């Protein structure tokens, strides 16, 4: 079965089994901040069903689709066993097919993609090759796939690769961007393209015959489990990077202890779906940290709001600030993030607080004696194009991208943050 066929079957299941109870809408953390905040949850779900059954377009339908942050918070809460996020994905697909809405394409393979340009000005030529070249080996017991977004912050990926190597020197690596789990196409209403991307990734992964596949990106974990998982039998075990590392802690030599209080911001997608509720906690404890939990954590975790920043800047900002306040209440000196994107967003709001925002993989690498500068964070703080370009000059010189593209990228990313 492919994704289009699965969605068609699921659509019929939704039509016959959704009781329009409205629970999935009621529990959605963004609805109360949208233009449909005053519409009853049942009426919102009725608009969804009216579209799926009768093809009826409506402002409520459009707003419901636009609002979704893909936090996966609703995935397991339907009493009928439906997946409410998948219902929205099916609507997105049909809206795109029928020309009701246009969802501009995003192509991770695009050669001039901002992720690639940013990675090139923060890494040496050798490091750049290391994060973009698939392993040149025939078979591996363990395989690591990082997904796409971490390429904004390549030192985290390089640190993760170093940690993986310490645990299994013969692991295989499949790079993100050139390979993709397909989720970016699902979000744009293109399940056919998503299915092709997923197949390409699976063909590449299985060519190494791994027993364990380690994923860095929470969206990839959810896509493999909740989107493709229901009709795919994987010939390998899938773990998040945090799960894999925490199973191999005795193979790592912690040389610098982290004797401090740390609170953990889970990646909402994997925590809310229950895919990884331990996250980085075991790793941080092994490093000597005392974990102090925020009021919303683990399976009750909260989305940082970063996905809402574009559609509802005020609401997204408020969600980020609420999370920062919650972290401050714990008295922790570090807010450890599991996801690089949450890290990017939470770090942008840490100026007036006493704790530092750090991704767990950077904390772990430091404890293992691996030192790499978080240049993305430094550039974000500077927000000064000339200064950034001067600092990155040795890498700009050897970057495969033109000076003008680099300048334009630096301006668009760091001026707008
Ligand atoms: S994924 Fe999150 S934002 Fe989207 S509908 Fe579900 S709960 Fe709401
Ligand atoms: S999808 Fe499930 S939770 Fe949502 S309205 Fe239908 S029955 Fe209720």
% of the chain beyond a pLDDT of 70: 100
Please tell me the predicted confidence (pLDDT) of residue 342: 87
Q: Give the pLDDT of residue 313.
A: 86
Averaged pLDDT for residues 127-156: 96
Tens digit of each residue's pLDDT (9 = 90 or more) over 22-33: 999 999 999 998
216 Cα: distance to centroid of ligand 1 (angstroms)? 22
User: Residue 96 contacts by C-beta under 8 Å, 6 or more apart in sequence?
Assistant: 102, 103, 188, 189, 190
What local confidence, expressed as pLDDT, does residue 277 receive?
A: 83
Alpha-carbon distance 143 to 55, whole Å? 43
Q: What is the pLDDT of residues 5-28, one digit of tens each?
A: 999 999 999 999 999 999 999 999
pLDDT score for 284: 96
Nearest CA to 389 among 118, 125, 112, 154?
118
Distance CA 258, CA 188 (A): 42
Q: Does 114-248 carry CATH code 3.40.50? A: yes
Average pLDDT over residues 199-205: 98
Ligand 1: which residue has its CA nearest to atom 2? Answer: 71
pLDDT tens profile 60-119: 999 999 999 999 999 999 999 999 999 999 999 999 999 999 899 899 999 999 999 999
Cα four-point dihedral sign 155, 161, 164, 165: negative
- Please state the domain extents for the chain: 3-97, 114-248
Write the pLDDT tens digit of every residue in 348-367.
Answer: 877 778 899 999 999 999 99
Residue nearest to atom 8 of ligand 2 (CA): 21
**Nearest-CA residue for atom 5 of ligand 1:** 68
pLDDT of residue 338: 87
Interatomic CA distance for residues 361 and 245, integer angstroms: 10
The pLDDT of residue 417 is above 60: no
Q: Do residues 276 and 221 make contact, with C-beta atoms less than 8 angstroms apart? A: yes
Identify which ligand lies nearest to the alpha carbon of 43. 2
Ligand 2 in contact with 172 (CB < 6 A)?
Answer: no
* Nearest-CA residue for atom 3 of ligand 2: 78
Residue-level pLDDT at 88: 97
pLDDT at 298: 83
Give residue 304's pLDDT: 82
């Amino acid at each position: 079965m492919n994704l289009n066929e699965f969605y068609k079957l699921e659509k019929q299941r939704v039509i016959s089994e959704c009781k329009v109870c409205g629970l999935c809408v009621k529990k959605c953390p963004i609805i109360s901040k949208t233009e449909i905040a005053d519409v009853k949850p049942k009426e919102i779900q009725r608009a969804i069903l009216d579209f799926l059954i009768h093809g009826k377009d409506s402002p409520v339908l459009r707003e419901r689709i636009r609002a979704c942050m893909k936090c996966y918070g609703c995935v397991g809460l339907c009493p009928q066993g439906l997946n409410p996020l998948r219902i929205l994905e099916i609507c997105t697909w049909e809206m795109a097919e029928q020309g009701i809405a246009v969802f501009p394409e995003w192509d991770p393979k695009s050669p001039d993609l901002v992720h690639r340009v940013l990675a090139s000005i923060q890494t040496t030529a050798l490091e750049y090759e290391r994060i973009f070249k698939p392993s040149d080996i025939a078979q591996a017991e363990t395989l690591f796939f990082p997904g796409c977004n971490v390429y904004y912050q390549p030192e985290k990926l390089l640190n993760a690769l170093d940690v993986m190597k310490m645990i299994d020197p013969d692991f295989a690596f499949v790079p993100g961007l050139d390979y993709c789990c397909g989720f970016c196409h699902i979000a744009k209403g293109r399940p056919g393209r998503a299915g092709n991307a997923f197949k390409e990734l699976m063909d590449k992964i299985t060519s190494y015959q791994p027993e364990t596949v380690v994923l860095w990106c929470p969206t990839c974990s959810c896509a493999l489990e909740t989107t493709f998982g229901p009709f795919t039998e994987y010939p390998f075990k899938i773990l998040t990077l945090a799960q894999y590392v925490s199973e191999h802690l005795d193979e790592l030599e912690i040389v610098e202890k982290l004797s401090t209080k740390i609170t953990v911001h889970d990646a909402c997608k994997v925590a809310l779906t229950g895919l990884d509720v331990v996250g980085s906690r075991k790793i941080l404890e092994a490093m000597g940290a005392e974990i102090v939990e925020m009021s919303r954590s683990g399976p009750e975790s909260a989305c940082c709001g970063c996905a809402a920043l574009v559609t509802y800047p005020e609401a997204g900002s408020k969600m980020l600030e609420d999370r920062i306040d919650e972290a401050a209440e714990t008295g922790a000196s570090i807010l450890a993030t599991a996801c690089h994107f949450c890290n990017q967003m939470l770090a942008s709001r840490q100026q007036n607080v006493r704790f530092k925002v750090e991704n767990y993989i950077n904390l772990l690498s430091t404890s293992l004696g691996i030192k790499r500068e978080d240049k993305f964070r430094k550039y974000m703080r500077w927000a000064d194009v000339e200064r950034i370009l001067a600092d990155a000059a040795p890498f700009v010189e050897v970057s495969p991208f033109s000076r003008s593209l680099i300048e334009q990228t630096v301006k668009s990313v760091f001026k707008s943050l």
